[in-house]
Structures are given as structure tokens and as C-alpha cells.
Amino acid sequence: MRQSPGTAQEPRTTIRVTHHCETRYASSDNLPPKNGYMTDLSERGARLWVRERHPPGERVTVDFPLLGEQDALTATGIVRWSDAQLHRWYWYQEGLEWLPLEGTAHQRLHRSLSRSSGAPAPAVDVARARLDLGAPPVRRLPLRIGLIGGLLVWILWILWSLWASSLSRRHAMLQATLQERSATIQRLERESTRLREELGRARTRLELTSEEVAGLTQQAHLLEGKAQQLNQDVARFQQSYTQLQQERNALVGQVRDLTRERAALLRRVVSEDRLRLAVREAIARRKAARPARAIPLREISQ
């Protein structure tokens, strides 16, 4: 692997090949993977062209295809050198030193490097890589457009999700409001039904009360007529009582007069008896003056 001036060369026991391919890389700070290029590859490390500069000592994980392999290889390396200046308008180049690879990954890398070292590097790939690194990345424009479109789709999806969530919340709120409104309407309908029933019962009671009041009014009229008749009877009774009192007084006067007349008659009778007694006594004295002779008792009493 060719390094920048002042760095040590790799041991010649290490297979190093020109390997032009697209890669996906991510730094150790868990940033999302980005697209890059690889131009040199060996068992010790690789040369990368990246969009941002990584300081020496930073770990970078690279995903790149291998010659003769269907599956890409994922390896992690430490940045040993990196250019501080932007190369060819768009790219930084840096050198990676692989961390110890697993046995299977190391065997795959060794087989791919062995195949690549026995076959000449394709001129078309080198020219295409130079074109890609030395000029604006025309062939990556569709990818960028796709990424931008994907980002826009993702943003639109987020906006749509937010809108759908807001719409769902509004729908839930509206549903709750409608349910509450339906419950309120049902409660009001039940209240209205109850009030109508109570109003009907009150109307029935009012009709019964009106009938009772009418009956009581009629009875009051009858009682009033009877009271008037009773007053008339009382007036007639008072008039009759007055007449009877007058008649009684007249009878009492008559009885008093009769009593006086009776007393007078009694006095008269007593006077007659005294007169008769005096006459008898006079007769008796006259007879006593005559010569005594037997006189029948009946004659004396006469």
C-alpha cells in the first residue's frame, strides 16, 4: 500500500492489489453509513476515498465487495493517516490498518487478494475510478437523487405519520366528543321522556283535581242553596217564634186574667158561704128565742 511521505512502507510479504470498488463506511461514533471508494487493498489495510476527514486513530468500519465472492466483507480498521486537504474537489483520502480479522474473514480476504494478484487489473475500472475521483461524480448523481428522494420520502413519511397521528388523536377526540354528545342526547331524551310522562301524570292529576273542584263547586252551590233555604226556614221559624211568643204572652195575660177572675170568684164564694153561715146563725138565734120545738136537721141545713 502506498502511503503519504514520511510513513513506512508495508512489508513485501503482504499481498497488495489495486482494488477499485464502491464501499460503505461508518465511523466509530455510530454515524449512519456513507458511500465511499476503495483504490488499494491488502491484508494489512486499505486506501479509502471518503467525504469527510477522519483524524488518525479513529476507527472506521468498511463494507466492500471481494473478487470472486458473492457476499461483501465487513472489516474495521484504524485510521493511520489522512489528508487534511480536499482532493479533486469532492474527496478525502485516508489509509486504514485493519484490526485483527476473524479466521473466516481473513481467509476470504486472502483468497480474494490471491485471485486479484494473479489477474491484471481491469483498465476500465481504473479509468472509471479516476473519472469518478477526478471529476464531479456524475454516475453518483442518480444515487444522490435517490438518497435525496429517499430522504424526502422519509421526511414526508414522518410528516404523514405526524399528520396521521394528529388526525388519529383528533379522530379519537372527535369520537369521544361524539360519544359524549350521543350519551348527552340519550340522557336528554330519557329526561324528556320522563318529563313528558310526569307532565302527562300531572295533567291527569290536574284533570282529576279540576273534576273534584267542579264537584266541590257544585256541592258548594248546593250547600249555598241549602244555606239560603235554611236561612229562610230560620227566618220563618223566628217569625213563627215571635208569633208564638206573642200568643204565649196573650195566653199568659188571659191566664192571669182568669186567675184574677177565679180569685174574685173564690172570694165571692167565700163571702157567700160567710153570708150563708151568718144567715144560719141569725135563724138559729131567732129560733132559739122561740119556744123550743123539734126541728128536723134537714130543714135546718136548708
Provide the pLDDT confidence category of residue 10 given band limits of 50, 70 and 90.
Answer: very low
Range 273-292 burial, b when 16+ CB lie within 10 A, else e: eeeeeeeeeeeeeeeeeeee
Q: Is residue 172 part of a domain?
A: no
Query: pLDDT confidence of 298, banded at 50, 70, 90?
Result: low
Grid cell digits, residue 207 = 284533570
Instruction: Classify residue 53: in a domain, yes or no.
Output: yes
In a domain, 40, yes or no: yes
Q: Residue 140 pLDDT more than 70? A: no
At 122, the amino acid letter reads: P
61 touches 75 (CB < 8 A): yes
Q: Which three cell numbers stand for residue 218?
A: 257544585
pLDDT tens for each residue of 11-61: 444 566 677 888 888 886 667 888 888 888 888 899 998 888 888 999 999
Pairwise CA distance, residues 167 & 174, whole Å: 10
Q: What is the CATH number of the domain that holds 97?
A: 2.40.10.220
Judge whether 206 lies within some domain: no
The single-letter code of the amino acid at 167 is L
Domain assignment present for residue 91? The answer is: yes
pLDDT at 5: 38
| C-beta of residue 48 within 8 angstroms of C-beta of residue 93 | yes
Domain count, the chain: 1
Domain that holds residue 84: 16-137
